[in-house]
Structure 1
């Protein structure tokens, strides 16, 4: 079967082998065969405060070319109880122009990993608020919060926690269902 749908994964961590990037690769392996997955490189996006003053259009072009496709799967760490600055920057770029944001009504799923005990719960509250402001169509359940992530992956980056694997599968299934429903309504 040919690839019909394209999901772009966005890791809120800029570290190459971060647990959040590993989560995205694990989730990609659960997608049906008619889905293609691309991991976005948001590290190439300039800080908007500088670029908006100089040339807003170039920043928008960089963002769209580097990061955003049809549907989104986001995995974010939690820094000081909040989403990462890199993720906020990427979503800010993708939200331009404000009245014609390409993210409006797009299905999106959210997950996160942290070595701490909270499992990114506080950061996800902020991200969900941002996704609401961007008028995105979020998968609300299940919530995927992976605490103590340093104990949940093997050397190859595979998720080893059976309960986390089950919740991830349900999250991916719910995103796939939402995407197919959205595509049928177009």
Structure 2
């Protein structure tokens, strides 16, 4: 099977973020047919302003949109802030969701995960992302779900995911994303 290109986005700017560690774990533990590229430009994206959403788009926005379009799918690891997704991630996705009905997110297969130091992980943030992706008609992987709770116990000091169950679920999630991408491509090509 041909290799699939996945763009991995951490919704955190913090240098020692568990979610940034999770996207690195996805890159490390990905099945051989997935090539995971980590997006590092979240900090550079300006606040969404429809007055700026013209051609040419701001450079950081154009880069994000291009990279999403070129990717076969997305892997998003989100923290949870105040029962929702961080503003920087929401802002980036707002830019990516334009133009409405024909954005870089339209029909894009997406897997969502998250890590947090709390006992509930990122359940509500992931639900908020799922709801948002209904509007963009993105193809979200619904199972398995990966919420790494008490993340400080599941990553070592170097940021490596050490919890075997979490690694196994992460691999299952990535496998399922690969399957969803292939199904989506087959439907688009009329080969189903």
Is the pair's TM-score, using the shorter chain for normalization, greater than 0.5?
yes
Q: Could you say what secondary structure the match of 1:56 adopts?
A: coil
List runs of 5+ in structure 1 lacking aligned partners. none
Q: Which residue of 1 aligns with 2:134?
A: 132
CA offsets 1:73-123 (integer angstroms, 9 cap, x no match): 000000011111011011100011112112111100000011111101111
**Residue deviations 1:41-97 (CA, integer Å, cap 9, x gap):** 211110013xx2245334465324145242100000000111110110111000111
Matched residue count? 183
Q: TM-score, normalised by structure 2?
A: 0.87
The change in CA–CA distance for 1:29 and 1:102 in structure 2 (over 3 A counts) is same
Q: How do residues 10-159 of structure 1 correspond to structure 2 at under 5 angstroms? A: 10-40=9-39, 41-49=41-49, 52-59=50-57, 62-66=60-64, 68=68, 69-70=70-71, 71-159=73-161
Q: 1:134, CA displacement in angstroms?
A: 1.1
Contact 1:48 1:59 in 2 (8 A): no
Cα contact 2:29–2:167 (8 A) shared by 1: no
- The CA RMSD measured in Å over matched residues stands at 1.9
Residue 180 of structure 1 corresponds to which residue in structure 2? Answer: 182
Greater helix share, structure number: 1
Farther-moved stretch of structure 1 (138-147 vs 158-167)? 158-167
Taking the aligned partners of 1:127 and 1:79, their CA distance within structure 2 comes to 13
User: Are the counterparts in 2 of residues 83 and 127 from structure 1 also a CA contact under 8 Å?
Assistant: yes
Distance in 2 (alpha carbons) for counterparts of 1:171 and 1:47: 31
